[in-house]
């Protein structure tokens, strides 16, 4: 970490009413949206919707767990927020919201249940990494009390707006938001995928006027999933055949369970150990079978793998064929403990299951062959490879989804504005959609271009 504490604090400490990019004037006629964060960046989402009657709603309030983290601009006073899913880039700042504005949080039961763990973990990481947070542990209790639970498909009123959560794929409990105002039908994708994963079924399109779509994978196509799995399975088997142990660093919330389910399906003869927060999250997912594509498959995979729950279990896991463990980008977690031991035997290997962000342990290992262990750069002379098990829609899935929604206008958010968005916006425009490229801190109106063109 190269920033001084002082610089970091000034970034996060909101001074209510003075550090918001949100405009003070009421919207003119129409539906206005304003990205506090997540407009022209991946994660860190917070979008305010408001009309001339001053009906106001916040969608998500996260932070970006980068190094150092990024935070959205201070949210204005808002009575209600919809939280699409339980990843920290979508709910990490909600405790601040609830304790400062008494905001109610709307989401699915599973999202609410997992939120507690995500907030405690976020708090823990910020203290270890010495990043101040704009909320403290007591605010977690306030936020937990603020949850209002909604089933998928259940509609509730927010003034004269109608809100409904729809399945988004991505991870269990993840929702898209159907926002119906008297003037416009809007669908906000949250993080979504139209492809099935072991855990979830793909999101289904809906006919709307306006679509907000996450553009994480704009301009990039996913590899053929069957071929990718085949390659992954063969690699695992190869390492096991030569007497090695495979370490699979995986995010706790979604990826760990997807990986274990795939191993159970294709390599049931192996001895697979699972460590980290993903164990508790799997239990929560099993308590909400309505969010799962195949609850029996998750239960079967979970009773098949060995859950590491003590120090002696952890030592035993070193003899396993496969260890699936947090953190997914080798930023702390049991993965580091395992690698510190596995690194001595070149028969072992590391298989990443997703992109390793810059300034993470995973990226350092890929670029330099070293990893920080107890503060010291340590050589990890092991074979490694990366497999793409993303549950975000790829370029083609996004474009097809927008077409199937027959959306007049498409707002591409949650995206890299330099590499990902331009090719995606071009493809969407070619299909006849009016495309908005939101910028954090700048308000825009929905339907404006459309009405102007009539």
Instruction: List interacting residues with Zn ion (CB under 5 A).
Output: 43, 87, 89, 191
Task: Give the shortest CB-59-to-Zn ion separation in angstroms.
Answer: 12
| 42 versus 208: smaller Cβ distance to Zn ion | 42
| 81 versus 247: smaller Cβ distance to Zn ion | 81
Torsion angles phi and psi, residue 307, rounded to 5? -90, 125
CB count in 10 Å sphere of residue 125: 18
- Determine the Cα–Cα distance for residues 431 and 288; give it in Å rounded to an integer: 38
Contact (Cβ atoms closer than 8 angstroms) between residue 124 and residue 331? no
| 43 versus 218: smaller Cβ distance to Zn ion | 43
Nearest C-alpha neighbor of 416 from the set 90, 64, 10, 171: 64
CB count in 10 Å sphere of residue 426: 13
Task: Give the shortest CB-142-to-Zn ion separation in angstroms.
Answer: 24
Task: Give the shortest CB-388-to-Zn ion separation in angstroms.
Answer: 16
SS3 213: strand
| 365 versus 424: smaller Cβ distance to Zn ion | 424
| 174 versus 282: smaller Cβ distance to Zn ion | 174
Task: Give the shortest CB-112-to-Zn ion separation in angstroms.
Answer: 16
Query: In this structure, what DSSP letter does residue 151 have?
Result: -
| 87 versus 184: smaller Cβ distance to Zn ion | 87
Task: Give the shortest CB-263-to-Zn ion separation in angstroms.
Answer: 22
| 43 versus 198: smaller Cβ distance to Zn ion | 43
Phi-psi region of 417 (alpha: psi -120 to 50; beta: other; left: phi over 0): alpha
Question: Cis omega before residue 341 (within 30°)?
Answer: no
Contact (Cβ atoms closer than 8 angstroms) between residue 336 and residue 323? no
Contact (Cβ atoms closer than 8 angstroms) between residue 56 and residue 49? yes
| 40 versus 89: smaller Cβ distance to Zn ion | 89
Task: Give the shortest CB-135-to-Zn ion separation in angstroms.
Answer: 20
Task: Give the shortest CB-261-to-Zn ion separation in angstroms.
Answer: 18
64-69 own/partner pairs: CB under 8 Å, 24+ apart: 64/37, 64/89, 65/89, 65/92, 65/122, 65/125, 66/357, 66/359, 67/1, 67/129, 67/331, 67/357, 67/359, 67/360, 68/1, 68/3, 68/8, 68/11, 68/129, 68/131, 69/126, 69/131
Cα 100 from chain centroid (whole Å): 24
Task: Give the shortest CB-110-to-Zn ion separation in angstroms.
Answer: 13
């Amino acid at each position: 970490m190269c920033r001084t504490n002082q610089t970091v604090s000034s970034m996060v400490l909101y001074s209510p009413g003075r550090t918001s990019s949100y405009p003070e004037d009421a919207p003119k006629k129409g539906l206005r949206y304003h990205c506090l964060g997540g407009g022209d960046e991946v994660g860190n989402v917070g979008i305010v919707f408001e009309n001339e009657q001053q009906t106001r709603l916040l969608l998500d309030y996260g932070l970006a767990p980068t190094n150092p983290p990024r935070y959205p601009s201070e949210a204005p006073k808002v009575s209600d927020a919809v939280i699409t899913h339980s990843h920290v880039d979508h709910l990490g700042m909600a405790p601040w919201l609830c304790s400062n504005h008494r905001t109610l949080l709307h989401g699915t039961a599973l999202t609410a249940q997992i939120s507690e763990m995500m907030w405690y973990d976020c708090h823990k990481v910020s203290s270890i990494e010495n990043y101040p947070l704009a909320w403290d542990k007591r605010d977690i209790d306030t936020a937990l009390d603020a949850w209002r639970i909604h089933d998928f498909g259940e509609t509730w009123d927010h003034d004269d707006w109608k809100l409904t959560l729809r399945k988004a794929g991505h991870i269990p409990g993840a929702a898209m938001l159907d926002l119906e105002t008297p003037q416009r039908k809007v669908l906000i994708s949250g993080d979504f995928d139209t492809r099935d994963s072991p855990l979830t079924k793909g999101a289904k399109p809906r006919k709307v006027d306006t679509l907000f779509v996450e553009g994480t994978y704009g301009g990039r196509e996913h590899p053929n999933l069957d071929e990718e799995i085949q390659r992954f399975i063969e690699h695992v088997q190869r390492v096991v055949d030569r007497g090695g142990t495979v370490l699979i660093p995986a995010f706790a919330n979604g990826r760990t369970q997807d990986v274990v389910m795939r191993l159970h399906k294709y390599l049931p003869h192996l001895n697979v150990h699972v460590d980290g927060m993903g164990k508790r999250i799997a239990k929560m997912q099993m308590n909400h079978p309505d969010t799962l594509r195949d609850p029996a498959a998750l239960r079967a995979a979970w009773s098949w793998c060995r859950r590491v729950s003590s120090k002696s279990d952890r030592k035993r896991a070193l003899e396993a064929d496969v260890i699936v463990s947090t953190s997914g980008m080798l930023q702390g977690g049991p993965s580091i403990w395992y690698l510190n031991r596995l690194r001595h035997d070149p028969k072992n290997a590391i298989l990443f299951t997703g992109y390793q962000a810059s300034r993470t342990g995973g990226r350092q290992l890929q670029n330099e062959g070293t990893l920080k262990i107890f503060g010291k750069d340590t050589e990890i002379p092991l074979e490694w490879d990366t497999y793409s098990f993303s549950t975000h829609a790829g370029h083609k899935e996004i474009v097809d989804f927008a077409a199937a929604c027959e959306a007049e206008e498409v707002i591409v958010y949650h995206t890299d504005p330099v590499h990902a968005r331009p090719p995606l916006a071009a493809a969407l425009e070619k299909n006849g959609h009016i495309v908005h490229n939101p910028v954090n801190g700048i308000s825009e109106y929905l339907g404006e271009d459309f009405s102007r063109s009539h």
